[in-house]
Amino acid sequence: MALRDNQSYNLVMDAIYSSFMRQKARVEGMHDEDIRDPHIIISIAKKLNLLPNPNNCIRISGSKGKGTCARMAAKLLEKTTHKKIALFISPEELDHNDRMSINGTHPNKQEFINLYNDIKPDLLAAENTLKDGQYLSPFGIFLLLSLKYFKNNQADYWVIECGRGAKYDEAGNIPSKISVITSILFEHAASLGPQLVDIAENKLSIALHSQQLVCTPEVANWNKRLNMVANHKIIEIEPLPTNQILPNWVMQDAALARAAVKNLLESEISSEINLLNCSAAFGVLKFQQYSIYFDASIHQKSMDEGFFKHITSQQKSIVLASLPDDKDSQAMRQFFKTQLNLPFYQLALSGTRGYLHYNNAKQNGDIYTEINYEDTQSFKQILSELMTDNKADCVFLIGTQTYIRLVKQALA
């Protein structure tokens, strides 16, 4: 039985999202600074003594790769210290209870329900203090549940992934020794923007609550422009050589994770620890006789042309993407169709999961068809149909975490 088929679990999920759902229509399209107050949840965490020891904590933000980097950092800490490593990710990989884990183990459905019941009185009290238009952030509630789980299990180190931003994100305001920014791209502009400089300022604010910031040269250049973080706090990784085995953003995440853990522990990290299978955003699967590459990419600048050319030189390939309006859909389409000369199809996902709008792609005639974001049978049927029609051997599945979640539920 899947967790969402459990009635008690469903009631808890409804409760977690209830505050947001009451305001959803009203706040759609508004910036986080106008509708989110991270200190509501943080004040509950302080009251319950759930905040992590900053000296044992890494927090990670970024437009691309933050979840992969977080998983890599957690694995490095576990293999190096042999202690209890708490990992919080956002969004979930398959179901909401896997947002939180200790050494790879997450709470079962009843444990998750119990965690919510433990903090429910404090959430209800906070709900009664909200100003007009405010809501209790579902992300913040999941973070609070995770911190409760970590405390109950006496975690030694914490790795915390931020949500879409940092400045108005609960995780972005928790103190830590190390913060990481993987990348700054034009994403979630309706919430963090409207311009790229606004997104950069939002994400860089994570460093205001940490002792050191680990980042790429690109992010360091943004800081030089905005002058938000003192130079002595910045640890900049070296540019990476090209690689045809994995996309360059995966290799970059590995370098960031190693630098973050090295500086947290103040000791060298073994190069023998394998991080290549840590990503939940990139992977290789088999479906029938086909090779399946999935990549949770939503911006053309995160695409590694050399990697894709290497794959397509060996196998006849197509692209099946799902890129809502707030993603870089036109540039992504141009990258695959023009630069790589690959057949490019888009799926529109329907349902109540966030704001899944595909109006731009529909107007441009880019949508192949539309299915529910949990309709695994239709997805497999469409995939098989397209592979047969194109006589293809390989498919690149490109899009949001919601789309990759569907891919894994259908094929993994």
pLDDT at position 4, please? 58
Kind and range of the H or E run holding 209: none
Give the separation between CA 50 and CA 148, rounded to whole angstroms.
6
Q: In b/e form, how buried is each residue of 123-140, taking b as 16+ CB within 10 angstroms?
A: beebeeeeeeebbbbbbb
Q: Are the C-beta atoms of residues 218 and 212 closer than 8 Å to each other? A: no
Give the separation between CA 35 and CA 31, rounded to whole angstroms.
7
Kindly report the backbone phi and psi dihedral angles of residue 231, in degrees, each rounded to the nearest multiple of 5, phi listed first. -60, -35
Give the separation between CA 104 and CA 86, rounded to whole angstroms.
9
CATH hierarchy code of domain 3-265: 3.40.1190.10
- The residues, ordered by sequence, that sit 6+ positions from 103 with a Cβ below 8 Å of its Cβ are 78, 84, 85
> Which conformational region is residue 360 in: left (phi greater than 0), alpha (psi within -120 to 50 degrees), or beta?
alpha
pLDDT tens for each residue of 340-370:
999 999 999 998 765 678 988 888 888 999 9
Provide the residue ranges of all domains of the chain, joining segments of one domain with +.
Answer: 3-265, 282-411
pLDDT at position 316, please? 97
* Ordered per-residue pLDDT tens for the chain, 412 residues: 344 578 999 999 999 999 999 998 888 888 999 889 999 999 999 999 999 999 999 999 999 999 999 999 999 999 999 999 999 999 999 999 999 999 999 999 999 999 999 999 999 999 999 988 889 999 999 999 999 999 999 999 999 999 999 999 999 999 999 999 999 998 888 889 899 999 999 999 999 999 999 999 999 999 999 999 999 999 999 987 766 678 999 999 999 999 999 999 999 999 999 998 899 999 999 999 999 999 999 889 888 889 999 999 999 999 999 999 878 888 999 999 999 999 999 999 998 765 678 988 888 888 999 999 999 999 999 999 999 999 999 999 999 999 999 999 999 7
What type of residue sits at position 195?
Q
pLDDT at position 364, please? 81
Which letter does DSSP use for residue 296 in this model? -
What type of residue sits at position 232?
H
pLDDT at position 1, please? 38
- The residues, ordered by sequence, that sit 6+ positions from 401 with a Cβ below 8 Å of its Cβ are 67, 91, 281, 296
pLDDT tens for each residue of 38-96:
999 999 999 999 999 999 999 999 999 999 999 999 999 999 999 999 999 999 999 99
pLDDT at position 412, please? 79
Mean pLDDT of the chain: 93
In the chain the first and final C-alpha atoms are separated, in Å, by 17
pLDDT at position 146, please? 98
Full DSSP string of 46-99: HHTT----GGGEEEEE-SSSHHHHHHHHHHHHHHHH-S-EEEE-SS-SSSGGGG
Architecture of domain 282-411: Alpha-Beta Complex (3.90)
In the chain, the largest separation of any two C-alpha atoms, in whole Å, equals 60
